[in-house]
Amino acid sequence: MNPKDDKRTGLTSSPVSVHNPHLDELKDDVLYHFSLGTRTHNLPAMFGDVKFVCVGGSPWRMKSFTEYIAAELSMEDPKAEYPNICAGTDRYAMYKVGPVLSVSHGMGIPSIAIMLHELIKLLHYAHCTDVTIVRIGTSGGIGLEPGTVVVTKQSMDATFLPKFEQVILGKTVVRNTDLDEGLAEELFQCSRELNQFKTVVGKTMCTQDFYEGQARLDGAFCSYSEQDKQDYLNKAREAGICNIEMESSVFAAMCKLSGLRAAVVCVTLLDRLKGDQLNVSHEVLHSYQQRPQILVGYYIKKQLKALRS
Ligand code: R2B
Ligand code: URA
């Protein structure tokens, strides 16, 4: 977790930490859901140069992010089809271009948590240092114009508290959900420079469900009124919550434990105070979903330029 001093350069570098003494006893660690492993793959050779990791729900979107980033960084090879590094499994998809790794995580806390356990071990075994990780995703906004991008400063649970709870060995363990403040500020500054869409910095509520968990009235089951829904969402808004999604809490907690600099950037697809159904056209949805990619692409390009100069 602590930054290490490089005696030659005087610079410090931050490793990606695991906190598990049992791993030392494993001769071969199989990263089952990636179809990768420490004995079957040379992880330092494959991933040692990774400095940026972008994660998002859909495999298709993460492939399109890789193509976009390759073009932005002028690293595209017109002949190259970016291969899915996890082609041996259909659980997650992974793509790499230069120092940028792009990984899908599916929907919800359990799905992203499994992916993050294996991703953090992968980055650790590959001896990666100074890695920045960003979740790029979609969300429901509260009182925001659809298409607004939210950079999360803190992830809140469904009772509006900044914590992530997990039951381990039958006991509830509470973990902190703060994200990197400096990184959120840098991303917000990038959005000002880009000046292409509205961006705000705020709190994000992370729920366990898309329907009843997010106070929707259109699930298969619903036992509350429209007024109850409005009261709940207005209370969330009063607590500083700008948007709702389903992965940020465990993402923030696990990245903090491993010493990764982490941010969450989600576009809002609708204003939840005005409705529940996602009925905008495919084209509008597609253009909204590109916004977090454009912002994070700009940030990565800017960082790499600064590193080179
Ligand atoms: C945002 O969108 C998905 C649900 O539609 C979920 O993964 C999330 O966090
Ligand atoms: N993703 C969510 O989790 N909620 C929404 O309302 C939209 C996208």
Cα angle 92-66-50, degrees, rounded to a multiple of 5: 80
- Residues in the chain predicted with pLDDT less than 50, given as ranges, are 1
CA 309, CA 307: separation in Å to the nearest integer? 6
Which atom of ligand 1 has the smallest separation from the CA of 137?
1
Q: Which of the ligands is closest to the CA of residue 243?
A: 2
Helices marked H in the chain: 43-47, 59-72, 109-125, 181-194, 226-238, 248-258, 282-308
Mean pLDDT, the chain, as a whole number?
96
pLDDT of residue 4: 60
In 3D, which of 151, 141, 152 has the Cα closest to residue 295? 151
pLDDT at position 113 is 98
Residue 1's pLDDT is what? Answer: 43
CA of 293 to the centre of ligand 2 (A): 17
pLDDT (0 to 100) of residue 11: 66
Please work out whether the CB of residue 289 comes within 6 Å of at least one atom of ligand 2.
no
Place of tokens 């996890």: 86
- pTM here is 0.96
Is residue 244 within 6 Å of ligand 2 at its C-beta? yes
CA of 288 to the centre of ligand 1 (A): 14
Determine the atom of ligand 2 nearest the C-alpha atom of 216: 6
In contact, 138 and 295? CB cutoff 8 Å: no
In the chain, where are the structural domains located? 20-308
- 269, 274, 288: which to mutate for ligand 2, most atoms within 8 A of CB? 269
Digit-coded pLDDT (tens) for 50-81: 999 999 999 999 999 999 999 999 997 766 78
What pLDDT does 12 receive? 77
- The structural architecture, per CATH, of the domain 20-308 is 3-Layer(aba) Sandwich (3.40)
Rounded CA-CA distance 35/158 in Å is 34
